[in-house]
């Protein structure tokens, strides 16, 4: 997303931007963040002495993958933006690219461990079925106890 601040030449001048933006899908480590819906950005921009101050909000919906059951789920995004762009670091006032700032704000908002719902049952470790949708007949008591410990370990910080 690019903005033009060429009109903000006077100290103290101000501009409001309300825009719908589309982003390509993002990758955060091993997490995939899909962006099938446009996001809404509302920004107030002020010309201060050495910089432009950007304050506002980014809202919208993302699609994330549950780390337990691997289903996709919708994630409500609502992020405050407070950024300062130093004038000395802006090569072209009429063509300022905010994409990196927007992406950074989104990535900070995504939890390390994405879960579709608090009580997600995950996948059966034996047959791989999604236990939110089906009860399989696998006798999970027969799992190697060392694996069970591992399972406890992975779900320790649930809820």
The minimum distance between CB 127 and Zn ion, in angstroms, equals 3
Q: What tokens does 99 get?
A: 């994409």
The answer for residues whose C-beta is within 8 angstroms of residue 103's C-beta and 6 or more apart is 23, 26
Q: Which burial class, exposed, middle or buried, applies to 145 when counting CB atoms under 10 A from its CB (0-12, 13-18, 19+)?
A: exposed
Q: Report the nearest approach of Zn ion to the CB of residue 153 (Å).
A: 18
Binding mask 119-138 for Zn ion (x = CB under 5 A): -x---x-xx--------x-x
User: Nearer to Zn ion by C-beta: 5 or 64?
Assistant: 64
Q: Does 63 bind Zn ion (CB under 5 A)?
A: no
68 is an interface residue for Zn ion by CB under 5 A:
yes
Instruction: Say if residues 42 and 102 touch (Cβ distance below 8 Å).
Output: no
Q: Minimum Å distance from CB 125 to Zn ion?
A: 8
Q: Apex CA 126: angle with CA 124 and CA 128, to 5°?
A: 50
Residues that bind Zn ion (CB under 5 A): 66, 68-69, 116, 120, 124, 126-127, 136, 138
């Amino acid at each position: 997303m690019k903005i033009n601040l060429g009109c903000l030449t006077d100290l103290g001048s101000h501009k409001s931007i309300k825009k719908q933006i589309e982003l390509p899908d993002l990758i955060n480590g091993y997490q995939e963040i899909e962006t099938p819906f446009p996001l809404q950005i509302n920004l107030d921009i002020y010309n201060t002495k050495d910089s432009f101050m950007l304050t506002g909000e980014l809202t919208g919906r993302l699609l994330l993958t549950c780390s337990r059951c691997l289903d996709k789920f919708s994630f409500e995004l609502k992020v405050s933006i407070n950024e300062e762009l130093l004038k000395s670091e802006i090569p072209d006032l009429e063509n300022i690219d905010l994409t990196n700032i927007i992406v950074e704000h989104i990535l900070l908002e995504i939890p390390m461990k994405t879960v579709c719902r608090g009580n997600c049952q995950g996948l059966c470790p034996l047959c791989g079925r999604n236990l939110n949708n089906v009860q399989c007949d696998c006798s999970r008591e027969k799992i190697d106890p060392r694996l069970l410990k591992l399972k406890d370990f992975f779900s320790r910080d649930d809820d």
